Amino acid sequence: MSDELILVNAQNRAIGRAEKRQVHEAGLLHRAFSIFLIDPAGRILLQQRHPAKYHSGGLWTNSCCGHPHPGEQTVRAAQRRLGEELGASCPLRFGFLTRYDTRFANGLIENEIVYVYFGLAPADITPNPEEISALELVSLAELKAEVTTSPEAYSFWLNYYIVHHLEEMKRGIEEVLKRAEVSVSSNSAEVYLERSYCSS
């Protein structure tokens, strides 16, 4: 698979392509996506990035994220990445569009226009051990509190979403649950967690 990303202008129009490492070294504006998977209790599935990731290794972040390749539709890229990172597949619903940029301690720069999607976490998830160290389910309220007290434990972009897009995240979660018509009782949620994410 190509490691080239889609370069865009401030209006999100594609203007070229460049290799992933070059994009992040030069801080070129590019297209990306983030995914929030939601369990039947309305909790968000977080992943801990593998320590060997090219930046933000070991930090907790949203369920999945990545970049579309040139010629690849963003939502299809998001589905592809769900399979690569989580061994999972589910319908995704667009939530909101945002832009951020930041420089990491190792000198790499994220300068992205991001499509944020929401979906109901499937029962079968098999995280890729080369990508993900651990998984955790938290409510949005719990996540907001944790990000507020310990922002250094979370990726820059997850902090950014909580600070700048909390209402959009609430709506995204509510829409997933409404469309799925699921029960949000804590009982069913614990069974779901045990079946889906806990391994012996």
Catalytic residue ranges: 65, 112
Please provide residue 45's backbone torsions phi and psi, each rounded to the nearest 5 degrees: -85, 115
CA-CA distance, 200 to 192, in Å (whole number)? Answer: 15
The count of residues in the chain is: 200
CA-CA distance, 123 to 141, in Å (whole number)? Answer: 23
C-alpha torsion angle, residues 164, 168, 173, 175 (rounded to 10): 180
CA-CA distance, 37 to 200, in Å (whole number)? Answer: 23
Closest C-alpha to 47, from 36, 39, 55: 36
CA-CA distance, 131 to 92, in Å (whole number)? Answer: 21
- Cβ 60 vs Cβ 150: under 8 Å: no
CA-CA distance, 78 to 43, in Å (whole number)? Answer: 20
Alpha carbon distance, N-terminus to C-terminus of the chain: 33
Residue 90 tokens, joined: 């589910």
